[in-house]
Amino acid sequence: MKAFPENLRNETLTRGLAAYGIAPTSLTYAPVGFGDHHWNVTADDGRDWFVTVSDLEHKAHCGADAASALTGLRQAMDTALTLRVRDGLGFVVAPVAATDGRSVVPLGERYALTVFPHVAGRTGEFGERLGDADRERVLGLLARLHGSTPPATTAATPLEPAGLSGIHAALDDLTGTWSGGPYAEPARRLLTANATALRARLADFDALARHVRRAGAPRVVTHGEPHPGNLVHGVDGYHLVDWDTVGLALPERDLSLLADDPAALATYTELTGRTPDAAALELYRLRWSLLDVAEFTDWFRAPHEGTEDTQVAWDGFAGTLEQLADRGRTEVIDSN
């Protein structure tokens, strides 16, 4: 996030770092990513750390409220630690444990602190397309991840994205006035203009989900968001960061972010013996978009201000709705 977290002082962050035995000499806010808050930290022993503060009131994929989100976040971080330590998956950028063994340290009721070792390398961008050679390398990492024994802390990731009911509720509330903030009414008007297309995509998702459930394919440990923005290309290859979305799901949850054509995933089939299912790939691509719509709809219906982060959310909301509408237009053209 570009903005600092509300009502979180540097003194609170410093006290949290003390739980890890870290005495910072430098705290530099890093306005990167979307959702969590990050700092680059240098400790008094010269070591560099990458520190994440999660807003538990806005982490629906980990839990519906702050208390359950803390539990879900801790399960995810414990899973990442197990994958790296027990299974030797060196590409997993797992957190370090606090001195009492916890992978996540709460900072009051709303925020939680996670500390990661600094990983040197080049980070990609969300939406960036990997070249063939790089895609093959990442498929190799995913094959190893999907073949691992699920740690006991790995939660199941449901097919239905968190907040799907919120989309339906918003679609049933388009005739009134939204007054949560400066983007509330523009969001209602934009959703109204795209309501028909969005309802069609929701129906598509339900049909794909029925197909996938009937297929009954086994679930594996998935990262959830292995796009270039979560890949760090270091001297020893790729590292995968941001494990708060880890969960048991179909392999296509990860594979859908690398290619939409099963033929482009042939290396994965060679390594695992499993041919990706085209319908499951499509389901998870659609799920990603609907998850964004749910998050942004909730954002704009709730009290909000006109910040730089809110503008980023608005751009994502408008772009996602346009992409979903274009998907419907493409299907019409293809059917003709």
User: 121-133, pLDDT tens digit by residue?
Assistant: 998 888 888 999 9
The reply to whether 10-118 and 132-335 are identical in fold is no
Q: Count Cα neighbours of 175 within 13 Å in the Cβ-side half-sphere.
A: 1
Angle between the N-to-C axes of helices 308-335 and 195-215, in degrees from 0 to 180, rounded to the nearest 10 = 70
Architecture of domain 132-335: Alpha-Beta Complex (3.90)
Q: What are the boundaries of each domain within the chain? A: 10-118, 132-335
- Whether the pLDDT of residue 171 is over 80: the answer is yes
Tens digits of residue pLDDT in 206-236: 999 999 999 999 999 999 999 999 999 999 9
Tens digits of residue pLDDT in 194-207: 999 999 999 999 99
Give the count of beta carbons closer than 10 Å to the beta carbon of residue 249: 23
Q: Please tell me what DSSP assigns to residue 294.
A: H
Torsion angle defined by CA atoms of residues 68, 72, 75 and 76, in that order, rounded to the nearest 10 degrees: -160
Angle between the N-to-C axes of helices 164-171 and 278-301, in degrees from 0 to 180, rounded to the nearest 10 = 60
What was the pLDDT predicted at 331? 54
**Span 10-118: which CATH code?**
3.30.200.20
What is the arithmetic mean of pLDDT over 299-325?
Answer: 95
What was the pLDDT predicted at 125? 86
